[in-house]
C-alpha cells in the first residue's frame, strides 16, 4: 500500500509550469502548492491545511482576489467547529477533512486512467497539462469548499441537542431552528441574472439560486426542475430532523462567486455547485427521482461523493458520541485502472464505552461487515472495483504539539507582522499598510512568512514560552532577554533557530548555495543564495535582520488586532536529549536501509525529548545521521575538526586517497547540510583529525548512534602511541568510559565497512 502523500503528489507531474500563470512565478507557485500539500499529508495539522487553502486561493484568484477574499468562509467554518463542536453528540472536523478529500481526488485523477479519461471525455478536453490544471481548479473548488456551510447545520443541531438533553424525546417533540428571510437569501441580483442569461441562453430565466441548481441537476441528472426547487425550499423552511450543510455550502459558494465578479460562469462552475449540493444528504434521501450518481453523467459529483465517504481517517472528533468510536488514524491505498484498494489503520478494533466491556468500534465493524462498501456503492455508479482492508496498529504519538494557540486563524496576521518586522521603521506602520505590503509579495514569499509564523510555536517552546489570544494567568513576556532559560542569549538562540528554518525552507523550494548574482532579481531567478551557510558564516547585517524581527514581532502582532500575547511557562519545557552520531566514512551497506533504521531510532526518542543531534560531519555515517536529523526537522549541531572551507577540502582529499571521489554535487549536499545546523563550531586537534571533535560530541551526549561493523580496532600501536583515535570504535570506548551502556545508551546500527587504507 502507498501513502496518500505519494499518490497525491503524483498529480503535479501531470502539468508543467508553462500550464500555470502568471509565467514569471508559475514554477515556484507549483512547487509551493506541491510542498504545502505534502507537508499537510505528513502532519494532518490545521495550520498545514491552511497553507493548501492559501496556495489554491492565491493561484486561482478566487472571487476576483486571493486568500483575503476567501478567508472568512474558511475561518468561520474552523472557528465554529472549534467552539461549537463539543456541544454536539456527533461531530468531526471538516476543515482538514476537506483538504484530505482534495488530495484523495488528485490521487485518483492521476492514478486511475479510466476516471481521468472519463472526465476529459465529459468536458471535451485533451489529456495534457492545461486540462490537469483545469481539473485542479474545479476539483479544488468542489472539494475544498464542500463543507463551508457547516455553521448552518451546527446551529440547527446545537438547539436540537440542547432541547433533547433538557427535555428528552426526539426532535419531533422539541424546538428546532428554521431559517427565515429565505427569499432574500436565495434571490439572484440583477448582475447575476444577466450573467446567467448569457451563459445559458436556452434556459428559462433564473430568479433564484434554487432555479440555477435545479437547472444544473436537470441537465446532468434528469431531475425535474420544479420538483427540485420545491424540495430544496421544503428542506430549509421546515426541517425538524436535520439541516443539510451541503445545500448551504453550494449556496454560499454560489453567492461568493457572483459577489466577487466572477467573469466566467458556465457549466463547469455550475457542476461544482451541484456536486456540493448532492454530496451529503440530498441525493441520498430527498432528491425527486434520486439515483446513484454515475461517473459518466456527473464526474465531479461522483468523485466528491466517493472521496468524501472514503475520507474517514485522522478526523478530530468534537462530539461526545463521535469520540467513543474513533476513526482510523492512518490510511493507505493502491490505485489502478477502475480499481481502488484502501486500508484503514485503527489503534484498536474495540472500544470500552463508559469503562464497560469491550465492544467493536462502530466504524471498524461497518468495514468488517461490508456495510461501508455497500453504502458507498449505493451512492455512486461506476465500474470501479473497490476493496477495503483494515489493520490494527498502535497509533504513533505526535511529537510536534505545542502549548501555543494552534488555531490557524492568527497565521495570516503573524505572517504580515513578520514581513514588516524586518524593517527598522515598522513600528510606525499602520495595519492597512502592513496588509497591503504583504499582498504585493509573490506566493513563495508570502508562504515563507507563513511558514515562519507556523514555526513560532516550536521556537517559543524551546525558551519556555507559548503564545495565545486568551487572557491567561501566566507571566506576559515583553522582552525575550528577561526569560530565564538554559541559553546565554535567547535572542541569539532564536535567531539561530530561524536561520535553520529558513535554510530548510529554501532547500525545499529548490534553492542552492551560490553567490553568482548581482541583484535580488537575478538571485530569485537563479534560486541561488549566498546565505545558505551555517549561522556562524552569516554577515552581521543578516544576523541583525533576524534579531530585528524577533524584537519587533510582539508589538506588531498587537497592532494587527489579534490580541496575541506571549506567556512564560511556570514549569520547564520538554527535556533535551543530545545524541552523538558516528560511524564509518565508507561502507558497503545501502543508504536507504541505514537511513530508515536511524530515522526509526531518532523518531522514537523524539516522542519524549527535544532531540539534538551532534556529529563531526565526516563523510559517510556522520553526514547520513545528520541528514536523517535534518529530514525529521530535529535540531542539528556540527562539531568540525577545522573551519568549513578547510574541512571541505580535507573531505575531498580523503575521498581521493580512498578512491571515492568527492564530486561537486557531494560538496553542495554537504554545504546545504551544514547550513541547517543551529551551531557549527570548530574543535581542532593537530595530532589526529577527528580526535578532539569526536571526544567533544561524546562528552556532550546522552546517547550514541554508531554505524559500526562490530570490529574492534587497536587504539595504541606497539610503542603505546595512540592510533585510530576519533574513529567509530574509539567513540564507543569513550562513551563506555563515561558510563553509557551498550544497547541502552549506545545504539549500534550494523554497517559493513568498505575497504580503504585510511578507513576506520
In the chain, domain spans: 4-392, 408-568, 576-750
Q: How confident is the model at residue 755 (pLDDT cuts 50, 70, 90)?
A: low
Instruction: Note whether 122 and 23 are within 8 A (CB).
Output: no
Which of 67-71, 460-464, 713-717 has the highest mean predicted lDDT (pLDDT)? 460-464
Asked if 301 and 309 touch (Cβ cutoff 8 Å), the reply is no
From 237-241, 493-497, 565-569, 598-602, the region with the lowest mean pLDDT:
237-241
pLDDT of 321: 53
- Tell me the per-residue pLDDT of 641-680, one tens digit each, with 9 for 90 and over: 999 999 999 999 999 999 999 999 999 999 999 999 999 9
- pLDDT tens, residue by residue, 487-501: 888 889 989 998 999
Q: How high is the pLDDT of residue 152?
A: 83
Share of the chain above pLDDT 70, in %: 88
Secondary structure string (H, E, C) spanning 94-137: CHHHHHHHHHHHHHHHHHCHHHHHHHHHHHCCCCCHHHHHHHHH
**Full-prediction pTM beyond 0.85?**
no
pLDDT of residue 263: 62
Separation of alpha carbons 469 and 560, rounded Å: 12
168 versus 356: the higher-pLDDT residue is: 168
Residues β-bridged to residue 613: 579, 636
How far is 306 from 340, CA to CA, in rounded Å?
11
For the 576-750 domain, the top CATH level (class) is alpha beta
Residue 759 has pLDDT above 50, yes or no: no
Residue of higher predicted confidence among 105 and 524: 105
Judge whether 282 and 246 are in contact, CB under 8 Å: yes
Between 297 and 419, name the one with better pLDDT.
297
Q: What is the pLDDT of residue 146?
A: 93
Query: Regarding predicted confidence, which is higher, 321 or 545?
Result: 545
The Cα 308–Cα 111 span in angstroms is 18
Closest of 501, 522, 523, 500 to residue 512, by C-alpha: 523
Q: Which residue has the cell 467554518?
A: 77
Q: Residue 210 — very low, low, confident or very high, per pLDDT cuts 50/70/90?
A: very high
Which among 123, 145, 162 has a CA at the least distance from the CA of 60? 145
Confidence grade of residue 408 (pLDDT, cut at 50, 70, 90):
low
Q: What does the pLDDT read at residue 367?
A: 94
Helix (H) and strand (E) counts for the chain? 30, 17
120 versus 471: the higher-pLDDT residue is 120
Q: What is the pLDDT of residue 257?
A: 86
Full DSSP string of 398-450: PS---SS---GGGHHHHHHHHHHHTSTTGGG--HHHHHHHHHTS-HHHHHHHH
What is the rounded average pLDDT of the residues 620-641?
95
Cis status of the peptide bond prior to 452, with omega within 30 of 0: no
Looking at residue 83, its pLDDT comes to 55
Mean pLDDT (whole number) for 258-277: 86
- What value does the mean pLDDT take over residues 193-212? 93
Of 353-357, 435-439, 480-484, the poorest mean pLDDT is in: 353-357
Please check the confidence at residue 542 and state whether its pLDDT lies above 50.
Answer: yes
pLDDT > 90? residue 392: yes
Beta strands 350-351 and 359-360, pairing class: antiparallel
Q: What percent of the chain has pLDDT over 90?
A: 54
Residue 560 has pLDDT above 70, yes or no: no
Helix (H) or strand (E) holding 344: strand 339-346
| pLDDT over threshold 70, residue 141 | yes
Q: What is the pLDDT of residues 701-752, one digit of tens each?
A: 999 999 999 988 877 777 767 777 888 999 999 999 999 999 999 999 999 9
Rounded average pLDDT over 505-524: 93
pLDDT value at residue 37: 96
Nearest alpha carbon to residue 517 among 501, 498, 531 = 531
Q: Given a cut of 70, is residue 229 above it in pLDDT?
A: yes
Looking at residue 626, its pLDDT comes to 97
Mean pLDDT of 404-424: 71
**Which of 62, 60, 58, 98 has the alpha carbon at shortest distance from 77?**
98
Could you tell me if 143 and 105 are in contact, meaning their C-beta atoms sit under 8 angstroms apart?
Answer: yes
Q: What is the mean pLDDT of the chain?
A: 87
**Res. 201: pLDDT tops 70:** yes
Q: How many CA atoms lie within 13 A of 412 on its CB side?
A: 22
- When mean pLDDT is compared across 36-45, 262-271, 691-700, the lowest value belongs to 262-271
Residue with cell 450573467: 195
Contacts of 43 (CB under 8 A, 6+ apart): 400
Amino acid at each position: 500500500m502507498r501513502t496518500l502523500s505519494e499518490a497525491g503528489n503524483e498529480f503535479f507531474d501531470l502539468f508543467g509550469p508553462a500550464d500555470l500563470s502568471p509565467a514569471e512565478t508559475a514554477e515556484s507557485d507549483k512547487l509551493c502548492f506541491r510542498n504545502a500539500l505534502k507537508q499537510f499529508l505528513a502532519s494532518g495539522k490545521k495550520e498545514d491545511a491552511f497553507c493548501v487553502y492559501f496556495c489554491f486561493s492565491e493561484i486561482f484568484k478566487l472571487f476576483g482576489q486571493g486568500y483575503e477574499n476567501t478567508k472568512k468562509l474558511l475561518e468561520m467554518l474552523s472557528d465554529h467547529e472549534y467552539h461549537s463542536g463539543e456541544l454536539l453528540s456527533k461531530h468531526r472536523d471538516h476543515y482538514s477533512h476537506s483538504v484530505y478529500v482534495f488530495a484523495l481526488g488528485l490521487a485518483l485523477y492521476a492514478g486511475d486512467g479510466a476516471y481521468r479519461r472519463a472526465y476529459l471525455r465529459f468536458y471535451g478536453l485533451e489529456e495534457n497539462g492545461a486540462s490537469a490544471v483545469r481539473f485542479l481548479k474545479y476539483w479544488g473548488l468542489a472539494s475544498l469548499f464542500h463543507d463551508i456551510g457547516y455553521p448552518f447545520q451546527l446551529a440547527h443541531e446545537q438547539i436540537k441537542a440542547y432541547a433533547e438533553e433538557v427535555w428528552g424525546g426526539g426532535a419531533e417533540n422539541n424546538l428546532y431552528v428554521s431559517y427565515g428571510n429565505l427569499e432574500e437569501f436565495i434571490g439572484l441580483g440583477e448582475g447575476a441574472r444577466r450573467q446567467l442569461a448569457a451563459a445559458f441562453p436556452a434556459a428559462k430565466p433564473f430568479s433564484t439560486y434554487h432555479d440555477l441548481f435545479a437547472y444544473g441537476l436537470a441537465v446532468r441528472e434528469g431531475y425535474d426542475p420544479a420538483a427540485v426547487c420545491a424540495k430544496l425550499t421544503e428542506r430549509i423552511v421546515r426541517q425538524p430532523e436535520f439541516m443539510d450543510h451541503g445545500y448551504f455550502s453550494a449556496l454560499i459558494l454560489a453567492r461568493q462567486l457572483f459577489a466577487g465578479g466572477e467573469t466566467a460562469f458556465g457549466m463547469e462552475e455550475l457542476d461544482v455547485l451541484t456536486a456540493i449540493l448532492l454530496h451529503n444528504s440530498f441525493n441520498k434521501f430527498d432528491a425527486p427521482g434520486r439515483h446513484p450518481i454515475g461517473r459518466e453523467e456527473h464526474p465531479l459529483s461522483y468523485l466528491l461523493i466517493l472521496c468524501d465517504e472514503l475520507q474517514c481517517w485522522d478526523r478530530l472528533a468534537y462530539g461526545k458520541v463521535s469520540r467513543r468510536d474513533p476513526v482510523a488514524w492512518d490510511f493507505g491505498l493502491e490505485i489502478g485502472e477502475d480499481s481502488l484498494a484502501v486500508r484503514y489503520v485503527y489503534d484498536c478494533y474495540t472500544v470500552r464505552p463508559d469503562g464497560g466491556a469491550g465492544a467493536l468500534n462502530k466504524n471498524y465493524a461497518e468495514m468488517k461487515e461490508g456495510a461501508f462498501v455497500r453504502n458507498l456503492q449505493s451512492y455512486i455508479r461506476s465500474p470501479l472495483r473497490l476493496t477495503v482492508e483494515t489493520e490494527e496498529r498502535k497509533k504513533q504519538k505526535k511529537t510536534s504539539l505545542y502549548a501555543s494557540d494552534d488555531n490557524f486563524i492568527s497565521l495570516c496576521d503573524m505572517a504580515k507582522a513578520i514581513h514588516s518586522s524586518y524593517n527598522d521603521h515598522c513600528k510606525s506602520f499602520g495595519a492597512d499598510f502592513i496588509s497591503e505590503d504583504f499582498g504585493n509579495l509573490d506566493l513563495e514569499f508570502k508562504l515563507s512568512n507563513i511558514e515562519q509564523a507556523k514555526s513560532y510555536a516550536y521556537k517559543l517552546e524551546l525558551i519556555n514560552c507559548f503564545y495565545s489570544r486568551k487572557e491567561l494567568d501566566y507571566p506576559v513576556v515583553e522582552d525575550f532577554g528577561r526569560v530565564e532559560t538554559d541559553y546565554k542569549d535567547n535572542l541569539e538562540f532564536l535567531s539561530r533557530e530561524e536561520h535553520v528554518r529558513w535554510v530548510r525552507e529554501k532547500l525545499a523550494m529548490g534553492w542552492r548555495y551560490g553567490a553568482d548574482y548581482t541583484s535580488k532579481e537575478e538571485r530569485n531567478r537563479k534560486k541561488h543564495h549566498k546565505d545558505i551557510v551555517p549561522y556562524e558564516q552569516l554577515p552581521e547585517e543578516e544576523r541583525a535582520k533576524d534579531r530585528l524581527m524577533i524584537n519587533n514581532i510582539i508589538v506588531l502582532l498587537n497592532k494587527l488586532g489579534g490580541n496575541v500575547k506571549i506567556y512564560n511557562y511556570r514549569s520547564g519545557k520538554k527535556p533535551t536529549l543530545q545524541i552523538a552520531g558516528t560511524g564509518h566514512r565508507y561502507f558497503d551497506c545501502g543508504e536507504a536501509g541505514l537511513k530508515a533504521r536511524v530515522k526509526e531510532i531518532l523518531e522514537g526518542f523524539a516522542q519524549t525529548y527535544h532531540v539534538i543531534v551532534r556529529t563531526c560531519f565526516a563523510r559517510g555515517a556522520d553526514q547520513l545521521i545528520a541528514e536523517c536529523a535534518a529530514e525529521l526537522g530535529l535540531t542539528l549541531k556540527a562539531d568540525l575538526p577545522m573551519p568549513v572551507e578547510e574541512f571541505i577540502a580535507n573531505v575531498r582529499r580523503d575521498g581521493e586517497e580512498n578512491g571515492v571521489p568527492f564530486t561537486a554535487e557531494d560538496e553542495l549536499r554537504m554545504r546545504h547540510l551544514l547550513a541547517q545546523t543551529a551551531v557549527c563550531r570548530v574543535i581542532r586537534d593537530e595530532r589526529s583529525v577527528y580526535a578532539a571533535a569526536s571526544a567533544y560530541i561524546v562528552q556532550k551526549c546522552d546517547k550514541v548512534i554508531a554505524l559500526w561493523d562490530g570490529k574492534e580496532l587497536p587504539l595504541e600501536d606497539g610503542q603505546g602511541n595512540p592510533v585510530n583515535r576519533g574513529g567509530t570504535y574509539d567513540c564507543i570506548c569513550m562513551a563506555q568510559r563515561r558510563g553509557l551502556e551498550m544497547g541502552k545508551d549506545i545504539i549500534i546500527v550494523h554497517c559493513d565497512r568498505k575497504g580503504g587504507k585510511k578507513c576506520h
